[in-house]
Amino acid sequence: MSGKYDEISKANKGAWVVHHGQKTAGAIGGGAQFPALEVAGKAAVLLSQFAASDQTNLDKNRVDALAAAAGLNPKMEVPTLLGMLKERRVIDIGKSGDVEVIGLTSAVTVQHATDLFEAENPTPEERAAIVLAEVTSLAPLDHALTAEFISDEFNLKSSKTDDFLRTSETIGFVDSEGQGTDKLYFNGHLFKRDNLTKVKRVLDSLSQADTSKVNSLDTEMNRKGCISVARAEEILSVPLFEKLKAAGMYDVNHVANPAGEFGFVTKPAAFHKFNDPMADDAFDLAKILVSALTYGMTQSSSGRGRIEMIRALLNKLIAGNRVGPATAIGEDYRVLEMQGVLKVEKAPTYGYFMTLRKRDVGQMALAVLTTGEAASQNSLNNVLPGSMTGYSGPERSRSEFRRKQTAPSKRMTEDVLQALRQKGGL
C-alpha cells in the first residue's frame, strides 16, 4: 500500500471517497473502472441521508423516500447498500423494512466511508485516485511530478499511470490547466486548507486594482457570510470573479425556484473555522442549509414565515426544539428534508413545523450566518419570486463552469494556479 495513502487521515480519505463516488456515478463507465469508489460513495451518501445526531428509527416509506432523494435505484442498488451498512453495524434492518440508525455526525459518517471503501478491496488505481485528490488540494502540481509520484507510490508502469491520469481528468477526480509539460493538476478544494497563505499568494500575483477589489469583496463576505453572485461580480468584475471561482477561491451555491436559478457566494474556509476543513461538510449539507436560510431571510414575506432572527432560530433548532408553524417551512426547505437535515411536519391548523436532525450541520451554518452583521442585515440585490425548489453545490457549479470556460478565462485561471504552485509540492 502507498506510504502517502497511509498518511491521509481516515476522515479525509472518506471525504474523497464520497467526492469520487459522486464523480464516478455521473461518468459513463466510471463505476466499471472504479467500482469500490462508486459503491462505497453511494453507501456513505445513503448513510448520510439516514443519519441524525441521535439514534433514530425510519419506517420503510421514509427509507425509500430518502434513498430516492439520493438518486439510488430501489431495486438494483438499495438492498446491496443497506446490507453493506448493516455489516458495518451502523444500521439495523427490521422485518418490515424499517431501519434503525445509530447517532452520527457528518465527520463520523465519512470515516465509515473509508471502512466501506476498504471492505471492497480497492485497486491500486482507486487508492491512487484518493492520493491524487489529496495532494492536488494542497497545491497545484505539474504533470511530470504528478506522474512520477503516482507511478512510484503505486508501482504503476508509466503507460498505466498516463492512462490513470487521463481517466482521472475525464471523470473529474482532478482538474487540469495548461498543456504538455506546462499542465497543472489541481482541484476545487485548494482554498479549504491553509487558506490565508494561499490567498496571500494569489493577491501578490494580482494588480493593485484587482487586489483592492478582492479585499473589498472579502470585507463584505466577512460581514455577511453569504452574498449573491451578482453582488460579487459587481465588486470584482465578471472576468476577475470567473478567474478566481474556477480556481476554487470562492464557492458558488445555486438555488432553484420556479423563476430559475440564482447563485449565492460563500468562502470555502467559512465552514471550517473550528472544524476539519475536508471532512465535516463532505456532503455539502451546511452549504445547503446556509443557502436555504439566506433565501428565507431575504425572500420570504412575513406572512409566509420570513426569518427575522437567524441566531435565535438556529440556536433553537440546535437545542433540539421545534420551529414553526410557517408556510415557508414546507415549501422552501424541501431540499433539506430530502437530504435528511430537517424533519418537516404539517401543523394541525396551517403551515409546517421543522426540527433539526443534524446538529453539527446547524452549528456550522450558525458560524457562517452570524458572522459580523449577517444575523440581521444579510441581503441580496435581486428578489427571487416563489419557493426554493432545488440546490446545486459548489463542486457541481464549478465543474459546469469549467466545461464552459473560454480560452482567455482559462489562461487567467492558470495565472492563479501558477501563483499557488510556486511554493507547493509533495
Nearest-angstrom CA–CA distance, 401 and 137: 19
Q: Residue 184 CB: number of other CB atoms within 10 A?
A: 23
Mean pLDDT of all residues in 259-288 = 68
Q: Mean of the per-residue pLDDT values for the chain?
A: 81
pTM for this model (two decimals): 0.82
User: In the prediction, which pLDDT does 367 show?
Assistant: 78
Strands 175-177, 184-186: pairing is antiparallel
185, 158, 168: which is closest to 128 by C-alpha?
168
Share of the chain above pLDDT 70, in %: 77
Q: Is 99 exposed, middle or buried (0-12, 13-18, 19+ CB in 10 A)?
A: buried
The residue ranking higher by pLDDT, 397 or 367, is 367
The residue ranking higher by pLDDT, 126 or 31, is 126
Confidence of residue 123 (pLDDT cuts 50, 70, 90): very high
- Confirm if 82 and 75 have CB atoms less than 8 A apart: no
pLDDT at 228 over 80: yes
pLDDT at 8 over 80: yes
169, 165, 127, 148: which is closest to 34 by C-alpha?
127
Q: Cβ contacts of residue 170 below 8 Å, gap of 6+?
A: 27
| Residue count (the chain) | 426
pLDDT in tens, 307-324: 667 788 889 999 999 988
pLDDT at 301 over 70: no
pLDDT at 385 over 50: no
The residue ranking higher by pLDDT, 181 or 221, is 221
Edge-first strand listing for the sheet containing 251-257: 227-228, 260-266, 251-257, 390-392
**Considering only 56-70, 74-88, 284-298, which range has the smallest mean pLDDT?**
284-298
Mean pLDDT of all residues in 227-233 = 88
* Helices 208-224 & 238-246 angle (0-180, nearest 10): 70
pLDDT at 164 over 90: yes
Mean pLDDT of all residues in 148-160 = 93
User: In the prediction, which pLDDT does 418 show?
Assistant: 72
Mean pLDDT of all residues in 14-37 = 85
Nearest-angstrom CA–CA distance, 164 and 160: 6
Q: Residue 181 CB: number of other CB atoms within 10 A?
A: 8
Nearest-angstrom CA–CA distance, 255 and 287: 11
Nearest-angstrom CA–CA distance, 374 and 359: 20
- Confirm if 298 and 379 have CB atoms less than 8 A apart: yes
- Confirm if 256 and 390 have CB atoms less than 8 A apart: yes
Strands 184-186, 141-142: pairing is antiparallel
